[in-house]
Chains A and B, each alone.
Chain A
Amino acid sequence: MSTSILSPDDWAAIWLTLELASLTTILLLVLATPLAWWLAHTPSRWRGPIGAVVTLPLVLPPTVIGFYLLVTMGPNGPLGQLTNSMGLGYLPFSFAGLVVGSLVYSLPFAVQPLQRAFEGLGRRPLEVAATLGASRIDSFFSVALPLARPGFITAAVLTFAHTVGEFGIVLMLGGNIPAKTRVVSVQIYDHVEAMEYAQAHWLAGGMVVFAFVVLVALQWLQPRDKNNASPL
Protein backbone atom coordinates (compact mmCIF):
# COMPACT_ATOMS: atom_id res chain seq x y z
CA MET A 1 0.00 0.00 0.00
CA SER A 2 2.52 2.56 1.09
CA THR A 3 5.02 1.19 -1.44
CA SER A 4 3.19 3.14 -4.12
CA ILE A 5 4.14 6.34 -2.32
CA LEU A 6 7.64 5.45 -1.24
CA SER A 7 9.86 3.38 -3.51
CA PRO A 8 11.96 0.44 -2.23
CA ASP A 9 14.94 2.76 -2.51
CA ASP A 10 13.21 5.25 -0.22
CA TRP A 11 12.52 2.53 2.34
CA ALA A 12 16.11 1.31 2.15
CA ALA A 13 17.23 4.87 2.88
CA ILE A 14 14.85 5.13 5.83
CA TRP A 15 16.05 1.87 7.42
CA LEU A 16 19.65 2.79 6.84
CA THR A 17 19.11 6.16 8.49
CA LEU A 18 17.45 4.61 11.55
CA GLU A 19 20.26 2.06 11.79
CA LEU A 20 22.90 4.75 11.58
CA ALA A 21 21.19 6.98 14.14
CA SER A 22 20.60 4.13 16.62
CA LEU A 23 24.15 2.85 16.44
CA THR A 24 25.58 6.36 16.71
CA THR A 25 23.40 7.12 19.74
CA ILE A 26 24.40 3.96 21.61
CA LEU A 27 28.10 4.40 20.87
CA LEU A 28 28.06 8.09 21.71
CA LEU A 29 26.32 7.66 25.06
CA VAL A 30 29.03 5.20 26.06
CA LEU A 31 31.84 7.44 24.83
CA ALA A 32 30.37 10.74 25.98
CA THR A 33 29.55 9.74 29.58
CA PRO A 34 33.13 9.56 30.89
CA LEU A 35 34.10 12.57 28.80
CA ALA A 36 31.20 14.66 30.13
CA TRP A 37 31.94 13.50 33.68
CA TRP A 38 35.56 14.53 33.33
CA LEU A 39 34.61 17.92 31.85
CA ALA A 40 32.12 18.50 34.66
CA HIS A 41 34.55 17.78 37.48
CA THR A 42 38.15 18.20 36.40
CA PRO A 43 40.24 21.06 37.72
CA SER A 44 42.67 20.48 34.83
CA ARG A 45 43.67 23.42 32.64
CA TRP A 46 42.96 21.20 29.63
CA ARG A 47 39.27 21.48 30.41
CA GLY A 48 38.89 24.60 28.26
CA PRO A 49 40.65 23.35 25.11
CA ILE A 50 39.05 19.89 25.27
CA GLY A 51 35.63 21.39 25.86
CA ALA A 52 36.23 23.56 22.80
CA VAL A 53 37.19 20.53 20.68
CA VAL A 54 33.97 18.81 21.75
CA THR A 55 31.98 21.89 20.73
CA LEU A 56 33.72 22.37 17.36
CA PRO A 57 31.30 20.22 15.29
CA LEU A 58 28.51 22.51 16.45
CA VAL A 59 30.27 25.50 14.95
CA LEU A 60 31.91 24.05 11.84
CA PRO A 61 29.92 23.58 8.64
CA PRO A 62 29.41 19.89 7.72
CA THR A 63 31.34 20.54 4.52
CA VAL A 64 34.46 21.24 6.60
CA ILE A 65 34.04 18.09 8.70
CA GLY A 66 33.12 15.97 5.66
CA PHE A 67 36.03 17.26 3.61
CA TYR A 68 38.62 16.62 6.32
CA LEU A 69 37.21 13.21 7.16
CA LEU A 70 37.33 12.27 3.46
CA VAL A 71 40.95 13.36 3.26
CA THR A 72 42.18 11.92 6.58
CA MET A 73 40.34 8.60 6.16
CA GLY A 74 41.55 8.16 2.58
CA PRO A 75 44.70 6.36 1.37
CA ASN A 76 46.82 9.50 1.83
CA GLY A 77 45.47 10.39 5.27
CA PRO A 78 46.79 9.28 8.68
CA LEU A 79 43.48 7.75 9.76
CA GLY A 80 43.19 5.88 6.47
CA GLN A 81 46.70 4.47 6.81
CA LEU A 82 45.89 3.40 10.35
CA THR A 83 42.63 1.63 9.50
CA ASN A 84 44.25 0.01 6.48
CA SER A 85 47.21 -1.31 8.47
CA MET A 86 44.72 -2.73 10.97
CA GLY A 87 43.15 -4.66 8.11
CA LEU A 88 39.95 -2.59 8.14
CA GLY A 89 40.55 -0.99 4.77
CA TYR A 90 39.52 2.58 4.14
CA LEU A 91 36.39 4.01 5.72
CA PRO A 92 34.93 6.41 3.11
CA PHE A 93 32.05 4.94 1.09
CA SER A 94 31.23 2.47 3.88
CA PHE A 95 28.63 2.30 6.64
CA ALA A 96 31.45 2.23 9.19
CA GLY A 97 32.73 5.49 7.72
CA LEU A 98 29.32 7.09 8.17
CA VAL A 99 29.26 5.93 11.79
CA VAL A 100 32.65 7.56 12.43
CA GLY A 101 31.45 10.75 10.73
CA SER A 102 28.25 10.77 12.78
CA LEU A 103 30.17 10.23 16.02
CA VAL A 104 32.17 13.36 15.29
CA TYR A 105 29.20 15.37 14.07
CA SER A 106 26.89 14.46 16.95
CA LEU A 107 29.49 14.52 19.74
CA PRO A 108 28.47 17.90 21.22
CA PHE A 109 24.81 16.89 21.24
CA ALA A 110 25.68 13.97 23.53
CA VAL A 111 28.38 15.56 25.70
CA GLN A 112 26.81 18.92 26.47
CA PRO A 113 23.50 17.76 28.03
CA LEU A 114 25.38 15.14 30.06
CA GLN A 115 27.96 17.64 31.22
CA ARG A 116 25.25 20.05 32.29
CA ALA A 117 23.42 17.28 34.15
CA PHE A 118 26.57 16.17 35.97
CA GLU A 119 27.41 19.76 36.86
CA GLY A 120 23.88 20.23 38.14
CA LEU A 121 24.30 17.36 40.59
CA GLY A 122 27.06 19.07 42.44
CA ARG A 123 29.44 17.29 44.76
CA ARG A 124 27.04 16.72 47.59
CA PRO A 125 25.23 13.47 46.60
CA LEU A 126 28.58 11.81 45.94
CA GLU A 127 30.03 13.01 49.24
CA VAL A 128 27.02 11.64 51.06
CA ALA A 129 27.43 8.33 49.26
CA ALA A 130 31.11 8.29 50.22
CA THR A 131 30.36 8.86 53.90
CA LEU A 132 27.97 5.92 53.71
CA GLY A 133 30.87 3.80 52.51
CA ALA A 134 30.19 3.60 48.77
CA SER A 135 33.17 3.29 46.48
CA ARG A 136 33.65 5.92 43.78
CA ILE A 137 32.55 3.52 41.04
CA ASP A 138 29.57 2.37 43.07
CA SER A 139 28.43 5.89 43.85
CA PHE A 140 28.79 6.87 40.20
CA PHE A 141 26.57 4.04 39.03
CA SER A 142 24.01 3.98 41.82
CA VAL A 143 23.82 7.68 42.66
CA ALA A 144 25.10 9.94 39.88
CA LEU A 145 23.73 8.09 36.86
CA PRO A 146 20.11 7.79 38.10
CA LEU A 147 20.12 11.43 39.18
CA ALA A 148 21.41 12.52 35.76
CA ARG A 149 18.70 10.60 33.91
CA PRO A 150 17.07 13.67 32.32
CA GLY A 151 20.47 14.59 30.90
CA PHE A 152 20.77 11.15 29.35
CA ILE A 153 17.33 11.42 27.79
CA THR A 154 18.16 14.79 26.27
CA ALA A 155 21.53 13.55 25.03
CA ALA A 156 20.04 10.42 23.46
CA VAL A 157 17.18 12.23 21.75
CA LEU A 158 19.34 15.06 20.42
CA THR A 159 22.04 12.69 19.19
CA PHE A 160 19.53 10.48 17.44
CA ALA A 161 17.65 13.38 15.87
CA HIS A 162 20.77 15.17 14.68
CA THR A 163 22.19 12.01 13.15
CA VAL A 164 18.93 11.45 11.30
CA GLY A 165 19.11 15.00 10.00
CA GLU A 166 22.74 14.89 8.97
CA PHE A 167 23.36 15.73 5.33
CA GLY A 168 26.62 17.37 4.36
CA ILE A 169 28.92 14.79 5.90
CA VAL A 170 27.14 11.74 4.50
CA LEU A 171 27.01 13.38 1.10
CA MET A 172 30.74 14.03 1.09
CA LEU A 173 31.81 10.80 2.75
CA GLY A 174 29.22 8.26 1.68
CA GLY A 175 29.42 8.02 -2.09
CA ASN A 176 25.62 7.71 -2.30
CA ILE A 177 25.53 3.89 -2.44
CA PRO A 178 21.97 2.47 -2.21
CA ALA A 179 21.25 0.55 1.02
CA LYS A 180 24.81 1.15 2.18
CA THR A 181 25.44 4.87 2.52
CA ARG A 182 22.43 6.60 0.96
CA VAL A 183 20.50 7.99 3.90
CA VAL A 184 17.16 9.82 3.81
CA SER A 185 18.61 13.33 3.59
CA VAL A 186 20.68 12.37 0.54
CA GLN A 187 17.74 10.55 -1.02
CA ILE A 188 15.63 13.70 -0.67
CA TYR A 189 18.39 15.73 -2.26
CA ASP A 190 18.53 13.31 -5.20
CA HIS A 191 14.76 13.47 -5.65
CA VAL A 192 14.83 17.27 -5.69
CA GLU A 193 17.74 17.38 -8.13
CA ALA A 194 15.97 14.91 -10.40
CA MET A 195 12.81 17.03 -10.12
CA GLU A 196 10.86 14.17 -8.54
CA TYR A 197 9.09 16.63 -6.32
CA ALA A 198 6.23 14.33 -5.22
CA GLN A 199 8.61 11.75 -3.78
CA ALA A 200 10.74 14.49 -2.27
CA HIS A 201 7.64 15.86 -0.53
CA TRP A 202 6.72 12.52 1.04
CA LEU A 203 10.17 12.02 2.49
CA ALA A 204 10.80 15.64 3.42
CA GLY A 205 7.34 16.04 4.97
CA GLY A 206 7.99 12.88 6.94
CA MET A 207 11.20 14.39 8.28
CA VAL A 208 9.37 17.53 9.41
CA VAL A 209 6.76 15.46 11.27
CA PHE A 210 9.48 13.28 12.78
CA ALA A 211 11.45 16.28 14.05
CA PHE A 212 8.32 17.87 15.51
CA VAL A 213 7.29 14.67 17.33
CA VAL A 214 10.80 14.24 18.72
CA LEU A 215 10.91 17.76 20.10
CA VAL A 216 7.45 17.53 21.66
CA ALA A 217 8.30 14.16 23.19
CA LEU A 218 11.47 15.64 24.63
CA GLN A 219 9.50 18.35 26.41
CA TRP A 220 7.09 15.81 27.87
CA LEU A 221 9.84 13.48 29.01
CA GLN A 222 11.78 16.18 30.77
CA PRO A 223 10.81 17.02 34.32
CA ARG A 224 10.70 20.77 34.85
CA ASP A 225 13.85 20.77 36.88
CA LYS A 226 15.77 23.98 37.31
CA ASN A 227 19.06 22.11 37.50
CA ASN A 228 18.56 20.32 34.22
CA ALA A 229 17.37 23.05 31.96
CA SER A 230 16.85 21.55 28.54
CA PRO A 231 19.07 23.11 25.88
CA LEU A 232 16.01 23.72 23.76
Chain B
Amino acid sequence: MTHFRLAPLALSLFAALAASAHADEVSVAVAANFTAPMQKIAVEFEKDSGHKAVLSFGATGKFYAQINNGAPFGILLAADDTTPAKLAQEGKAVADSRFTYAIGQLVLWSKQAGYVDDKGAVLKTGDYRHIAIANPKLAPYGLAAMETLKNLGLTDQVTPKVVQGENIGQTYQFAASGNAQLGFVALSQVMEDGKLREGSAWIVPSSMHEPIRQDAIILNTAKDSAAAKALMDYLKGDKARAIIKSYGYAF
Protein backbone atom coordinates (compact mmCIF):
# COMPACT_ATOMS: atom_id res chain seq x y z
CA MET B 1 0.00 0.00 0.00
CA THR B 2 2.61 2.53 1.09
CA HIS B 3 4.80 1.52 -1.83
CA PHE B 4 2.11 2.50 -4.28
CA ARG B 5 1.79 5.91 -2.68
CA LEU B 6 5.49 6.53 -2.42
CA ALA B 7 6.35 5.60 -5.98
CA PRO B 8 4.59 8.50 -7.72
CA LEU B 9 5.89 10.90 -5.08
CA ALA B 10 9.46 9.79 -5.66
CA LEU B 11 8.93 10.02 -9.41
CA SER B 12 7.66 13.57 -9.28
CA LEU B 13 10.47 14.57 -6.95
CA PHE B 14 12.96 13.13 -9.40
CA ALA B 15 11.28 14.95 -12.27
CA ALA B 16 11.45 18.23 -10.36
CA LEU B 17 15.12 17.72 -9.63
CA ALA B 18 15.86 16.90 -13.26
CA ALA B 19 14.02 19.99 -14.45
CA SER B 20 15.93 22.28 -12.13
CA ALA B 21 19.27 20.77 -13.05
CA HIS B 22 19.96 23.21 -15.85
CA ALA B 23 18.03 26.10 -14.29
CA ASP B 24 20.38 28.00 -12.04
CA GLU B 25 19.86 30.35 -9.12
CA VAL B 26 21.62 33.62 -8.39
CA SER B 27 21.32 35.78 -5.30
CA VAL B 28 21.28 39.50 -5.95
CA ALA B 29 21.97 42.36 -3.55
CA VAL B 30 19.78 45.22 -4.76
CA ALA B 31 20.07 48.90 -3.78
CA ALA B 32 16.93 50.02 -1.93
CA ASN B 33 15.94 52.56 -4.58
CA PHE B 34 15.81 49.84 -7.24
CA THR B 35 13.46 47.58 -5.26
CA ALA B 36 10.28 48.02 -7.26
CA PRO B 37 11.70 47.72 -10.80
CA MET B 38 13.91 44.78 -9.82
CA GLN B 39 10.98 42.84 -8.43
CA LYS B 40 9.24 43.17 -11.79
CA ILE B 41 12.38 42.33 -13.73
CA ALA B 42 13.04 39.22 -11.65
CA VAL B 43 9.60 37.83 -12.49
CA GLU B 44 10.13 38.39 -16.22
CA PHE B 45 13.67 37.03 -16.04
CA GLU B 46 12.47 33.85 -14.41
CA LYS B 47 9.77 33.41 -17.05
CA ASP B 48 12.10 34.04 -19.98
CA SER B 49 15.28 32.28 -18.85
CA GLY B 50 14.16 29.62 -16.39
CA HIS B 51 16.82 30.87 -13.98
CA LYS B 52 15.85 32.19 -10.61
CA ALA B 53 16.98 35.50 -9.07
CA VAL B 54 16.80 35.66 -5.27
CA LEU B 55 16.66 39.32 -4.22
CA SER B 56 17.90 41.09 -1.09
CA PHE B 57 17.26 44.82 -0.69
CA GLY B 58 19.21 47.35 1.36
CA ALA B 59 21.84 50.03 1.58
CA THR B 60 24.84 49.69 -0.71
CA GLY B 61 27.29 50.40 2.13
CA LYS B 62 25.83 47.56 4.15
CA PHE B 63 26.11 45.19 1.20
CA TYR B 64 29.76 46.15 0.83
CA ALA B 65 30.45 45.24 4.46
CA GLN B 66 28.51 41.99 4.12
CA ILE B 67 30.35 41.02 0.91
CA ASN B 68 33.65 41.69 2.67
CA ASN B 69 32.53 39.31 5.38
CA GLY B 70 31.63 36.48 3.06
CA ALA B 71 27.98 37.14 2.21
CA PRO B 72 27.04 34.76 -0.61
CA PHE B 73 25.73 37.36 -3.07
CA GLY B 74 26.33 36.65 -6.73
CA ILE B 75 25.52 40.08 -8.14
CA LEU B 76 25.51 43.57 -6.65
CA LEU B 77 23.17 46.18 -8.10
CA ALA B 78 24.61 49.20 -6.32
CA ALA B 79 23.14 52.65 -5.79
CA ASP B 80 26.43 54.18 -6.94
CA ASP B 81 29.37 53.51 -9.23
CA THR B 82 32.09 53.73 -6.59
CA THR B 83 31.23 50.60 -4.59
CA PRO B 84 31.34 48.19 -7.57
CA ALA B 85 34.56 49.84 -8.76
CA LYS B 86 36.07 49.38 -5.33
CA LEU B 87 35.05 45.72 -5.19
CA ALA B 88 36.61 45.14 -8.61
CA GLN B 89 39.80 46.89 -7.57
CA GLU B 90 40.01 44.80 -4.40
CA GLY B 91 39.66 41.63 -6.44
CA LYS B 92 36.31 40.67 -4.94
CA ALA B 93 34.35 41.02 -8.15
CA VAL B 94 34.70 40.36 -11.87
CA ALA B 95 36.05 43.69 -13.15
CA ASP B 96 34.92 43.45 -16.78
CA SER B 97 31.34 42.56 -15.83
CA ARG B 98 30.73 46.07 -14.46
CA PHE B 99 28.25 48.31 -16.29
CA THR B 100 25.78 51.11 -15.55
CA TYR B 101 22.31 49.56 -15.39
CA ALA B 102 20.48 52.80 -14.61
CA ILE B 103 21.02 56.47 -13.89
CA GLY B 104 18.99 57.52 -10.92
CA GLN B 105 16.82 60.60 -10.85
CA LEU B 106 16.42 62.70 -7.75
CA VAL B 107 13.01 64.12 -6.95
CA LEU B 108 11.70 66.55 -4.36
CA TRP B 109 8.48 64.96 -3.24
CA SER B 110 5.58 65.63 -0.89
CA LYS B 111 2.74 63.30 -0.02
CA GLN B 112 0.49 66.33 -0.22
CA ALA B 113 -0.91 67.00 -3.68
CA GLY B 114 -0.21 70.46 -5.07
CA TYR B 115 2.44 71.21 -2.43
CA VAL B 116 5.60 70.94 -4.50
CA ASP B 117 5.71 73.25 -7.54
CA ASP B 118 7.51 72.27 -10.72
CA LYS B 119 10.52 74.48 -9.98
CA GLY B 120 11.19 73.51 -6.39
CA ALA B 121 10.44 77.04 -5.14
CA VAL B 122 8.71 75.46 -2.13
CA LEU B 123 12.19 74.87 -0.69
CA LYS B 124 12.62 78.61 -0.30
CA THR B 125 9.07 79.75 0.39
CA GLY B 126 7.42 76.79 2.09
CA ASP B 127 6.74 76.73 5.82
CA TYR B 128 7.61 73.04 6.12
CA ARG B 129 9.08 71.86 9.41
CA HIS B 130 11.10 68.90 8.23
CA ILE B 131 12.67 67.75 5.01
CA ALA B 132 13.84 64.15 4.74
CA ILE B 133 17.17 63.52 3.02
CA ALA B 134 19.12 60.28 2.89
CA ASN B 135 22.39 60.39 4.83
CA PRO B 136 24.76 62.03 2.32
CA LYS B 137 27.67 60.11 3.79
CA LEU B 138 26.01 56.79 3.02
CA ALA B 139 23.59 57.27 0.14
CA PRO B 140 24.25 58.77 -3.30
CA TYR B 141 20.74 60.23 -3.41
CA GLY B 142 21.50 62.06 -0.17
CA LEU B 143 24.73 63.41 -1.63
CA ALA B 144 22.92 64.54 -4.78
CA ALA B 145 20.29 66.28 -2.64
CA MET B 146 22.96 68.21 -0.75
CA GLU B 147 24.64 69.19 -4.03
CA THR B 148 21.29 70.45 -5.29
CA LEU B 149 20.73 72.57 -2.17
CA LYS B 150 24.21 74.00 -2.54
CA ASN B 151 23.54 74.80 -6.17
CA LEU B 152 20.35 76.60 -5.22
CA GLY B 153 22.19 78.49 -2.48
CA LEU B 154 19.80 77.07 0.12
CA THR B 155 22.13 74.91 2.21
CA ASP B 156 22.11 77.17 5.29
CA GLN B 157 18.41 77.81 5.11
CA VAL B 158 17.38 74.16 4.73
CA THR B 159 19.95 72.30 6.88
CA PRO B 160 18.27 72.96 10.27
CA LYS B 161 15.14 71.28 8.93
CA VAL B 162 16.84 68.15 7.64
CA VAL B 163 16.04 64.73 9.05
CA GLN B 164 18.21 61.90 7.80
CA GLY B 165 17.16 58.45 6.67
CA GLU B 166 19.86 55.80 6.74
CA ASN B 167 18.96 54.93 3.17
CA ILE B 168 16.53 56.12 0.56
CA GLY B 169 13.87 53.65 1.74
CA GLN B 170 13.73 55.14 5.22
CA THR B 171 13.86 58.64 3.78
CA TYR B 172 10.76 57.86 1.74
CA GLN B 173 9.07 56.49 4.87
CA PHE B 174 9.66 59.75 6.74
CA ALA B 175 7.98 61.69 3.93
CA ALA B 176 5.26 59.13 3.20
CA SER B 177 4.14 59.06 6.85
CA GLY B 178 3.71 62.83 6.65
CA ASN B 179 6.18 63.46 9.47
CA ALA B 180 8.41 65.26 6.99
CA GLN B 181 6.43 67.49 4.65
CA LEU B 182 9.13 67.23 2.00
CA GLY B 183 11.68 64.66 1.00
CA PHE B 184 14.45 64.20 -1.53
CA VAL B 185 13.79 60.66 -2.72
CA ALA B 186 14.37 58.54 -5.80
CA LEU B 187 11.95 59.08 -8.65
CA SER B 188 11.57 55.28 -8.83
CA GLN B 189 9.92 55.32 -5.40
CA VAL B 190 7.11 57.69 -6.30
CA MET B 191 6.63 56.82 -9.96
CA GLU B 192 4.94 53.84 -11.54
CA ASP B 193 4.19 53.25 -15.22
CA GLY B 194 5.55 56.69 -16.05
CA LYS B 195 3.19 58.51 -13.67
CA LEU B 196 3.44 59.95 -10.16
CA ARG B 197 1.63 57.57 -7.81
CA GLU B 198 0.52 60.25 -5.33
CA GLY B 199 1.41 63.65 -3.94
CA SER B 200 3.39 66.29 -5.78
CA ALA B 201 6.95 66.38 -7.03
CA TRP B 202 9.72 68.33 -8.68
CA ILE B 203 12.06 66.23 -10.75
CA VAL B 204 15.43 67.77 -9.99
CA PRO B 205 17.24 68.61 -13.26
CA SER B 206 20.28 66.40 -13.63
CA SER B 207 22.42 69.52 -14.08
CA MET B 208 21.93 70.27 -10.38
CA HIS B 209 24.10 67.39 -9.18
CA GLU B 210 26.60 64.76 -10.26
CA PRO B 211 24.83 61.95 -12.13
CA ILE B 212 23.69 59.10 -9.88
CA ARG B 213 25.27 56.30 -11.85
CA GLN B 214 24.13 52.92 -10.56
CA ASP B 215 26.51 50.13 -11.49
CA ALA B 216 26.08 46.37 -11.47
CA ILE B 217 28.85 43.85 -11.04
CA ILE B 218 29.26 40.08 -10.77
CA LEU B 219 30.91 39.05 -7.52
CA ASN B 220 33.57 36.38 -7.30
CA THR B 221 31.21 33.79 -5.81
CA ALA B 222 29.21 33.80 -9.06
CA LYS B 223 32.20 34.01 -11.43
CA ASP B 224 31.14 30.84 -13.23
CA SER B 225 27.40 31.06 -12.70
CA ALA B 226 25.28 30.86 -15.85
CA ALA B 227 22.36 32.52 -14.06
CA ALA B 228 24.47 35.50 -13.01
CA LYS B 229 25.71 36.03 -16.56
CA ALA B 230 22.18 35.62 -17.92
CA LEU B 231 20.76 38.19 -15.50
CA MET B 232 23.43 40.75 -16.35
CA ASP B 233 22.62 40.32 -20.05
CA TYR B 234 18.92 40.49 -19.30
CA LEU B 235 19.37 43.85 -17.54
CA LYS B 236 20.84 45.23 -20.76
CA GLY B 237 17.92 43.92 -22.84
CA ASP B 238 14.90 45.84 -24.15
CA LYS B 239 12.38 44.25 -21.81
CA ALA B 240 14.29 45.12 -18.65
CA ARG B 241 15.14 48.59 -19.93
CA ALA B 242 11.49 49.35 -20.61
CA ILE B 243 10.67 48.44 -17.00
CA ILE B 244 13.61 50.45 -15.66
CA LYS B 245 12.56 53.46 -17.73
CA SER B 246 8.94 53.27 -16.56
CA TYR B 247 10.24 53.96 -13.03
CA GLY B 248 11.89 57.16 -14.16
CA TYR B 249 15.50 56.05 -14.55
CA ALA B 250 17.67 57.20 -17.41
CA PHE B 251 20.53 55.39 -19.16
Contacts and interface: CB of A to CB of B under 8 A. Distances in A.
Interface string B127-171: 001101001011000000000000000000000001111100010
**Across the A-B interface, the 3 shortest Cβ-Cβ residue pairs:** A175-B163, A176-B164, A193-B61
Interface stretch (B11-19, B93-101, B174-182, B242-250): B174-182
Nearest to B162: A177
Contacts of A90: 129, 179
A175 B174 contact: yes
Interface residues of B, number: 23
Nearest to A171: B166
Contacts of B165: 175-176
A73 B179 CA distance: 8
Nearest to B137: A194
Contacts of B173: 70, 172
Contacts of B61: 193-195
A177 B166 CA distance: 11
B179 A190 contact: no
Give the dominant DSSP class at A's interface: loop
A76 interface: yes
A74 B178 contact: yes
Contact of B163 (A74, A89, A93, A194): A93
Nearest to A90: B179
Given A176-B166, A194-B137, A92 B179 contact: yes
Contacts of A175: 130, 132, 163-165, 174, 180
B65 interface: yes
8 contacts: A70-B177, A73-B179, A92-B179, A171-B170, A172-B170, A175-B164, A189-B166, A194-B138
Contacts of A92: 174, 177, 179
Nearest to A186: B166
A51 interface: no
A71 interface: yes
Contacts of B132: 175
B178 A76 contact: yes
Contacts of A176: 135, 163-166
A88 interface: no
Nearest to A89: B129
Interface residues of A, number: 21
Nearest to B139: A193
Contacts of B130: 93, 175
A16 to B, nearest CB: 15
A143 B137 CA distance: 56
A192 interface: yes
B59 interface: yes
A75 B163 contact: no
Interface in A193-209: 193-195
Which among B137, B138, B173, B177 has the highest number of chain A CB atoms within 10 Å? B177
Contacts of B202: none
A195 B65 contact: yes
Nearest to B167: A193
B236 interface: no
Interface string A137-181: 000000000000000000000000000000000011001110000
A67 to B, nearest CB: 8
A76 B177 contact: yes
B135 to A, nearest CB: 7
A76 B176 CA distance: 11
A193 B166 CA distance: 9
A175 B170 CA distance: 9
A40 to B, nearest CB: 38
Interface in A59-117: 70-71, 73-76, 89-90, 92-93
B119 interface: no
Which among A75, A89, A192 has the highest number of chain B CB atoms within 10 Å? A75
A82 to B, nearest CB: 15
Interface in B166-222: 166, 170, 173-174, 177-180
A89 B127 CA distance: 14
Contacts of B166: 171, 176, 189-190, 193
